[in-house]
Structure 1
Amino acid sequence: MVLKRDSTGPRPEAARSAVRRVLVIEDSAQDALLLELAFEELAPSVQVHLAHDGEEALHALGTLPAPDFVLLDLHLPGRDGLELLGLVRDRVGEGVRVVCWSSRAQPREVEATSALGAAYVEKPLGHDDLLVLVESWLGG
């Protein structure tokens, strides 16, 4: 699988220094793999840890070095996404950027993510859109 870049090329690694560790909480194996590949392509020095459900995410937050960025799928098996967002936010604090994403979030969920100090984006449909999102997260 080839991830394409636009003609502007990758951003300098120095612009990504704020993000060294990423926790991706995503139950879709395909989405998790695409995210991992995108981070690897755009910032190979960033450590990406994948958690496939809420319990795995909470365990990672309790045992691994604190992430600089968290990406949370709002619709995971076994735990309400907004409840998990609250627990994640409690554990990582306000200084860590948290982005929630979903392909089918309801307006109430989108509003609640903001109230809990997180951003919301819809899951991108294509590889290029995913690369643009990951690049914006690395720079922010």
Structure 2
Amino acid sequence: MSSTPGSGEAGGLFAALRTSAVTLVATARTRIELAGNELAGERIRLVRLLVLGIAALFCVGVGILLLVGLVVALAWEQRVLVLGGFAAAFLIAGGLLFAAMQRANDRHQVFAATLAELEEDLRQLRAATGHGKKAD
């Protein structure tokens, strides 16, 4: 049997396509594994923060209640003034802590490493295909 003209080129093209597909799948698998690792690490970090935060809040809350009770007992004649002062202080502190919590939560970006790797992949693909070039 004789080969038709261009059959070697078609085989080379299909081989190149297969190689590209394998590379693409391997890259996608690596990125998905990276995302999974980051997700697992993030879950562990959040659970640890939650447990430590709840324990700290409980201890501080009990301590504050005991301190307020002590101050009220020592200044029994001005108990309304003392309780009002403590209430105002706690409301102000709660508002400040809530604002700090919002700022801290805004700064953390989940999957930062995965997003960085995907951006680099996209940049390399654009450079390889010529889509990343800007017209001057």
Q: Structure 1 length as normaliser, TM-score?
A: 0.18
Q: Structure 2 length as normaliser, TM-score?
A: 0.19
Structure (1/2) with the larger strand percentage = 1
Structure (1/2) with the larger helix percentage = 2
